Structure 1
Amino acid sequence: MRKELLFTLILIFALKTNTISAQKHHDIQNILYFNPEVEPDVEEIKEPTNLAFFSAVSDHISTHKKRKMLKTEIQLSFETADPKTISDYAVNNDADFVTVSKVKYFKVGLGKYVFSNQVVVSMKLFDKSGNLITESSYDTYRKNMRMLGSAENSIKIGTAGALKTIFKNLRKLKPITDNDI
């Protein structure tokens, strides 16, 4: 009798622990980030831009316990993002949301490759079906009136600002979708 009772208690405890861990995993939102489209299309600035962009994303995501960053080395066009492609990447990477981004440098001066340290970071957030949920744009010059500083810092500030707006819009939309279900 005692062995049966002990076995039953262990079985119930194991099942309860298993369902709790499954619920915790379900609460975490996986967000897939593509490499940002860089404008102007100069190969020399793409890699430093990607490094600064993903550094800012990982810093911002680390403050949110319920969000997890997934990264892909593919670059999608910001203006013509295909919902089918986005949906395929989301399903294959087990992502709840997909973000397509663009970093646009200001051009100043007369030379072909003379850029300002100011950027505009634009982001679009899609659900796993490829539907556009919200979009945001952050202009580092207009928002902060930054005249000095590195382009890397401007990218980080712009990315953090765009992500903040995206997540704020997502929180506003979330109660509506919860009530509809």
Structure 2
Amino acid sequence: MQAKGFTLIELVTVIVIIAILAVTALPKFINVNQDAHDAVAKNIFGSYKTAISLYHSCYITSGEQSAVDDLSCFGAGDVDSSSTGFPLKTDNSQSSNDGTKLTGDFCRQLWFGLLDTEDFVLALHTDASFGGDTDIIYWYSNPDATLPTSYCYYNYIADNQAKGQENWQLRYYPNTGRTTVGRATLG
């Protein structure tokens, strides 16, 4: 009588092959979480860059030539421009309606004024901002918005909230409208 089925050696061989495939595929699946965070950061920063371009196009087509409070043709009509026509802030009650000053709060206002989203928890850059439910840390580099070295920065820390870790960062320069996206470490 002839027995049908697999021998023990054949079964062990198949199990070893499956184990080897699993070991080589596992790192790909583990890295999916970081890939998702990278995609979220790049997507939201891309939306921010697009909003800046749309705002400046609106500024140009409106015929404006200096700082403007509440540019009506963009979004809710509450975003103010820098003296060069790029978005700067939303709150007219704060100092400087001439579009030459930059503050940390202006960077926060810009985020919500340009993106019209509350999907992210923003916190200003302090030691206490790291951890918890913070997604993005923001601040600015120089209070004189007329200088090309003055910028707002936004670090996406939702993927790794430990202080001193490398995360995605968007820099926005309100004097020129230039944006840069790259990896940066906040201390």
On whether the aligned pair clears a TM of 0.5, the verdict is no
TM range (shorter): 0.3 to 0.5
* TM-score, structure 1 normalization: 0.39
Q: Which one scores higher on RCO, CA 8 angstroms, separation ≥ 6?
A: 1
More helix by share: 1
Q: Specify the structure having the higher radius of gyration (Cα).
A: 2
* TM-score, structure 2 normalization: 0.38
